[in-house]
Chains A and B, each alone.
Chain A
Amino acid sequence: DAGVTQSPTHLIKTRGQQVTLRCSPKSGHDTVSWYQQALGQGPQFIFQYYEEEERQRGNFPDRFSGHQFPNYSSELNVNALLLGDSALYLCASSLVQRNTEAFFGQGTRLTVV
């Protein structure tokens, strides 16, 4: 079992550009959540996808959008990048109807210059 995999591991983008991050959930999981972690802070919830729809959303602007595919994998898109978007982006997978643990990937380190 490969667990949660994210790609790429590191990324450097210029202000104003757009970026797409990818996540494959743990085998058997149906829900994918995305988190942003700034340096020295705990992860902050961006949104969650289940059955290819956004189900919950945190306090993030519309520049942050996502998608979930029929195989449960997911993408996070960020448009019009700002310097403040530099962070570690984490993907977590879980089962929607179970009070069990979420499994996190190793994250994508995004640097906006």
Chain B
Amino acid sequence: DAKTTQPTSMDCAEGRAANLPCNHSTISGNEYVYWYRQIHSQGPQYIIHGLKNNETNEMASLIITEDRKSSTLILPHATLRDTAVYYCIVRADILTGGGNKLTFGTGTQLKVEL
């Protein structure tokens, strides 16, 4: 699985959009980008994933660049409860034999403040 690079920490004002970047310059054509977050002392929580196209769900939006070498997770209106460590993970397509293990880095600590 391709490696990812994320900033160690970011701050965001409550009510503003939080934009979390991730670099994955060695990503392959069959590799997906997944985002999880982990609130202190809890299990990781799935947020969103995508392959090529931008994706949106009730939690967030995922913007993947055209060359797929980087992506941005957008929390449109951050709240204090969004304070967590956010992990960007690249994982191969299960159907091509990639398996479905997740390789976590150290993630980005997002702190949402009043």
Contacts and interface: CB of A to CB of B under 8 A. Distances in A.
B93 A104 contact: no
A65 interface: no
Contacts of B34: 101
Given A97-B94, A97-B95, A101-B49, A45 B43 contact: no
Interface string B37-56: 00001111110010000000
B94 A104 contact: no
Contact of A106 (B42, B95, B100, B102): B42
Interface string B102-114: 1111110000000
Interface string B10-26: 00000000000000000
A4 B43 contact: yes
B29 interface: no
Contacts of A94: 100
Given A97-B94, A99-B95, A106 B43 contact: yes
Nearest to A42: B104
Contacts of A96: 94, 100
A104 to B, nearest CB: 3
B44 A90 contact: yes
Given A42-B87, A42-B107, A102 B43 contact: no
A99 B49 contact: yes
A45 B95 contact: no
Interface of A: 4, 31, 33, 35, 41-45, 48, 55-56, 58, 88, 90, 92, 94, 96-99, 101-107
Given A4-B43, A33-B100, A90-B44, 7 more contacts: A31-B100, A42-B87, A56-B99, A58-B101, A88-B41, A92-B44, A101-B34
15 contacts: A4-B43, A33-B100, A33-B101, A33-B102, A35-B102, A35-B104, A43-B44, A45-B102, A90-B44, A92-B102, A99-B49, A99-B94, A101-B49, A103-B46, A105-B43
Query: Sorted from nearest, which 4 A-B pairs have the closest CB atoms?
Result: A42-B104, A104-B43, A101-B46, A45-B101
